[in-house]
Amino acid sequence: MKFPDDYQEGVLIKRYKRFLADVELPSGEVVTVHCPNTGAMTGCAEPGSRVWLASSISKSAKYAWGWRWVETRHGLANIYSAGANRLFYEAFDRGDLTIFNGYRHLQREVSFAEGQSRADALLSGHSSQPDCLVEIKSVTLAMANGQGYFPDAKSDRAVKHINHLKEQVNQGLRAALVFVIQHAGINRVAPAEHIHMAYAQALKLGVESGLEVYALKAELIDGDYRITKKTIGIN
């Protein structure tokens, strides 16, 4: 795996206040960086881990560096959770998502359920399928033997989204929950019953009602980070 030339390697000292982390650079300088992940980041925020930082594009950014990658005990992980959406959008634009073949248009960040929820994407323009709402989730919680889980912390918001998507299916739309795997050590995904049983139960009921669930895996190959495996195991 090859990182872009402008990435900066370092060693994680600590993550704190959810959005911040202190990292020691090879020079010995300690810098505070932006952490673009609101989750628990279990297994991805261990002090002493090798991390890689991206320089901030905006000159007005408060922090010069943003944390992107970490080397975990189970493999390399990308902790930029919002990047999962971008990966999905790019894969759709390339025509790589065979599970959504036939849809011609993608609209980002669409409100539904009378404004109570927001979908990451609305797919439309299919000749024989109804419009499809898509909820995208980044997965980085890795355990042994390639098993991954979502969520990595209790999330009432995630439960609400599933219930609202289920309602849309009942009204005749198509709806899909897409797990984007951003961890090299994950080969299959399951709902994290041991972390949030209510989420696992809501997902089970959603699937029984017609909610579709897919898992896609992203990989970094020669500096190109993209979805390479269209579907992987869900259990």
Give the domain ranges of the chain: 8-78, 83-234
Cβ-proximal residues to 203 (8 Å cutoff; 6+ apart), any chain? 162, 177, 191, 211, 213
What pLDDT does 70 receive? 98
Of the candidates 124, 140, 44, 11, which has an alpha carbon nearest to the alpha carbon of residue 83?
A: 140
SS (H, E, C) 108-150: EEEEECCCCEEEEEEEECCCCCCCEEEEEEEECEECHHHEEEE
CATH topology of domain 83-234: Trna Endonuclease; Chain: A, domain 1 (3.40.1350)
Phi, psi of 197 (to 5 degrees): -60, -35
pLDDT at residue 113 is higher than 80: no
pTM: 0.93
* pLDDT single digits (tens) 118-146: 999 999 999 999 999 999 999 999 998 99
pLDDT at residue 1 is higher than 60: no
Question: What is the spatial distance between Cα 132 and Cα 147, in angstroms, rounded to a whole number?
Answer: 28
What pLDDT does 162 receive? 94
* pLDDT single digits (tens) 182-224: 999 999 999 999 999 999 999 999 999 999 999 999 998 888 8
What pLDDT does 203 receive? 96
pLDDT at residue 82 is higher than 90: yes
pLDDT at residue 159 is higher than 60: yes
What pLDDT does 114 receive? 80
Q: Token match 């500096």: residue?
A: 223
- When computed from its CA atoms, the radius of gyration of the chain, rounded to whole angstroms, is 18
What pLDDT does 122 receive? 97
Q: Token match 């019953």: residue?
A: 193
Domain 8-78 class, CATH top level: mainly beta
Tell me what the mean pLDDT of segment 20-48 comes to: 96
Question: In angstroms, how far is the first alpha carbon of the chain from the final one?
Answer: 28
Helix and strand element counts for the chain (H, E):
3, 16
Phi, psi of 92 (to 5 degrees): -65, -45
